[in-house]
Amino acid sequence: MSPALLRHPRFVSLEGGEGAGKTTAINAIRECLRSHGHEVVLTREPGGTPLAERIRGLVLKPDAEIAAEPLSAEAELLLVFAARAQHVRQVIQPALQRGAYVLSDRFTDSSYAYQGGGRGLDPQWIADLERRAVGLLPGLTLLLDVDVAIGRARANGRDLWPDRIESEQDDFFQRVREVFRGRAQQDPQRFALIDAGQEQERVAADVVARVERWLQDGEGA
């Protein structure tokens, strides 16, 4: 990782492919942190601010006029980083500066996985954007790892109108998963790999156990 990236101990991200059960897990993490007396700011990407949420809509669920124009992989990446730059400066950094914990449903690892792995964009370009526009790493990243077929079956049962990303094919999501797993292997100090093929209650329990251990070890301080 670039030395220009600050790894913040009170910043936690949750990553994973479609149907990994992030919503159940992230709510369990929030309650865990609150039970220790911490203020928790729960946020998401793309999004987290009014402007970033507007960009999220452009990327994931554009209106009919915009949807008629194909979104290039390069434009998708830059839009996501525009939202992230705003998110970091308006929500994440202020919360960390006042002593709160920030819990984000996705962060920059998703750009490496979706735009890098899924879309085939150069990871060095993503790394450059990360250094210049973000400059921040979570102290802990929980990766909910699930077989693509299982995750897709869950997501298909949940989403009546899938967004642009959810509408991709299985090979796209296989590349996404491979990048996520590769990044976890490259940075085991930051990542915790969670088996998300289990029942969601078991996944949530495993996630909370990992966060509790992280707090007890003094890493989330």
What is the per-residue pLDDT across 53-85, written as a single tens digit (0 to 9) for each? Answer: 999 999 998 888 888 888 999 999 999 999 999
Higher pLDDT, 65 or 220: 65
Cα distance between residue 183 and residue 114, in whole Å:
13
Q: For 39-52, what is each residue's pLDDT tens digit?
A: 999 999 999 999 99
Average pLDDT for the chain: 92
Domain range list for the chain: 6-216
- Contact at 8 Å (CB) between 14 and 106? yes
d(CA 35, CA 30): 9
Q: How far is CA 131 from CA 3, 53, 125, 134, in A?
A: 9, 22, 10, 6
pLDDT per position as a tens digit, 158-184? 655 667 788 788 999 999 999 999 999
So what's the pLDDT on residue 221?
A: 67
Task: Tell me the helix, strand and coil percentages in the chain, rounded to 5.
Answer: 55, 15, 30
CATH second-level architecture of 6-216?
3-Layer(aba) Sandwich (3.40)
pLDDT attached to residue 151: 83
